[in-house]
Amino acid sequence: MKSVVVLGGGLSGGFLAAALVERGCRVVLFDDPATEGASRGAAGLYNVVTGRRMALTWGAPLLVAALDAFFASAIGRPLARFRQLLPIYRPYPDAAMQTLWARRFLDPEYQPWIAAVDRPIAPDRYHNPLGGFLVQGVGRVQVAALLEALFALLQAGGQFERIPLRIDYTTIDPESRRIDKGGACWPFDALAFCEGMAAAANPFWDIRPLVPLKGQVLRIAAPNLRESEVWVGEGVFILPEGEGIYTLGSTYETRFTSTGPTPEGRQLLLDAFQRLLPHDPPPQVLWHWANLRPATVDHLPVAGEHRHHAGLFFLNGLGSKGVLHAAAVAPGLADWIAWGRSEALHPAFHFYRPVMVKLKANTG
């Protein structure tokens, strides 16, 4: 039985640990209790028509199929209650986008994912004068609750241990394949780094650095909003959480001076809410949270084995699609770690793909 250490207990580490256990590995997962990762407060929305350009996400069928496969697997099935299928409504922001979408409805790539909405929804309350369309086959995952339940399930299976401890990189010896910390020693056949943005300090990281993409999110109380779909418009989403509570998010900040929640971030989200619901009073803010998404220059995850240290692996760069990317990358990387099948990882996710290596060389 292969012994694998996983460093990080967010979406990357959680999905990878599950895939490794499924492949017969014994997994010890370290998760720093003092560093709150991006996964803990992520809204968990997964969507395939994203951004202001409202374009189909790269690899949409592959990504959604991977998430479906997780929830259909022996480990994922008992966790199905943490995923809700929920259509996402996208109002047209202007006439040009409406015209563009008239063509996209004829595009076979888009057709499985979208349904036209003939007239504006609840126009007396919601600003969507041109109508819009529904994205279907998508939804949300309750990330923090899913991860807790996943770890409990894996622990009960006997092949998995989760240790709330920060591992310093200096305690990792890639040659003898062991971690020595405070008198304790953890030998490993493979170690997978899944530390999210904390990987900025990882000395084994030898490709272009991750791009931190700050996000802020609010939980709001706003009685009588629609609950049958998620609204994505004016640069924000409104996700129903039940009982008059909604998640309003998220900001996408490439420049920031603090990593925590800011009054500006809160106002930006509330202003967008007001544009979508111009007649409503401002909602009551119950919770305000911020964190850094670990992103890459081409917005795809990075995974693979270190070129000079056999046995050291990486899974990172999930960006704003943490749920879909974790589900899509983990099985391929687990095949590689458990069985040496490097070809199982989609080349688009490869740690040393040209864009991640070449640009590093260019920037010195």
Ligand X SMILES: Cc1cc2nc3c(=O)[nH]c(=O)nc-3n(C[C@H](O)[C@H](O)[C@H](O)COP(=O)(O)OP(=O)(O)OC[C@H]3O[C@@H](n4cnc5c(N)ncnc54)[C@H](O)[C@@H]3O)c2cc1C
- Angle (CA) 107-108-114 rounded to 5° is 80
- Residues 206-235 close enough to bind ligand X by CB under 6 A: 215-217
Closest C-alpha among 39, 264, 277, 28 to residue 143: 39
**In whole angstroms, what is the distance from residue 197 CA to residue 126 CA?**
37
- Closest CB to ligand X among residues 37, 233: 37
Residue 12 within binding range of ligand X, rule CB under 6 A? yes
User: Which of 198, 207, 210, 220 is in the footprint of ligand X by CB under 6 A?
Assistant: 198
- Residues 126-165 close enough to bind ligand X by CB under 6 A: none
State the minimum distance, in angstroms, from the CB of residue 194 to ligand X.
5
Hey, is 90 helix, strand or coil? strand
Residue 320 within binding range of ligand X, rule CB under 6 A? yes
| Residue 100: DSSP 8-state | H
State the minimum distance, in angstroms, from the CB of residue 221 to ligand X.
19
| Residue 259: DSSP 8-state | S
Instruction: Draw the binding track, 287-316, toward ligand X (x: CB under 6 A; -: no contact).
Output: ----x-xx---------------------x
- Closest CB to ligand X among residues 81, 358: 81
**In whole angstroms, what is the distance from residue 252 CA to residue 258 CA?**
14
Of the chain, the end-to-end C-alpha distance in Å amounts to 41
Residue 240 within binding range of ligand X, rule CB under 6 A? no
State the minimum distance, in angstroms, from the CB of residue 65 to ligand X.
16
State the minimum distance, in angstroms, from the CB of residue 362 to ligand X.
26
Closest C-alpha among 177, 193, 194 to residue 185: 177
State the minimum distance, in angstroms, from the CB of residue 357 to ligand X.
21
Q: What are phi and psi of 141, to 5 degrees?
A: -120, 135
- Whether 216 and 267 have beta carbons less than 8 Å apart is answered as no
**In whole angstroms, what is the distance from residue 283 CA to residue 262 CA?**
17
The amino acid sitting at 216 is: Q
- Whether 159 and 21 have beta carbons less than 8 Å apart is answered as yes
- Closest CB to ligand X among residues 276, 290: 290
State the minimum distance, in angstroms, from the CB of residue 237 to ligand X.
8
User: Which of 7, 146, 220, 225 is in the footprint of ligand X by CB under 6 A?
Assistant: 7
Size, binding site for ligand X by CB under 6 A: 40
- Whether 334 and 23 have beta carbons less than 8 Å apart is answered as yes
- Closest CB to ligand X among residues 75, 179: 179
- Residues 80-99 close enough to bind ligand X by CB under 6 A: none
Among the listed ranges 3-11, 65-73, 79-87, 105-113, the one in contact with ligand X (CB under 6 A) is: 3-11
DSSP notation for 41-75: T---EE-SEETTTTEEPTTHHHHHHHHHHHHHSTT
State the minimum distance, in angstroms, from the CB of residue 317 to ligand X.
8
- Residues 29-68 close enough to bind ligand X by CB under 6 A: 30-32, 35, 37-39, 42-46
Residue 323 within binding range of ligand X, rule CB under 6 A? yes
- Closest CB to ligand X among residues 129, 183: 183
Closest C-alpha among 122, 141, 129 to residue 47: 141
Cis peptide bond N-terminal to 250, omega within 30: yes
- Closest CB to ligand X among residues 4, 217: 217
State the minimum distance, in angstroms, from the CB of residue 15 to ligand X.
8
**In whole angstroms, what is the distance from residue 108 CA to residue 125 CA?**
33
Residue 249 within binding range of ligand X, rule CB under 6 A? yes
How many Cα atoms sit within 13 Å of 64 on the Cβ side?
19
Note the residues at the interface with ligand X (CB under 6 A).
7-13, 30-32, 35, 37-39, 42-46, 166-167, 194-196, 198, 215-217, 249-250, 291, 293-294, 316, 318-323
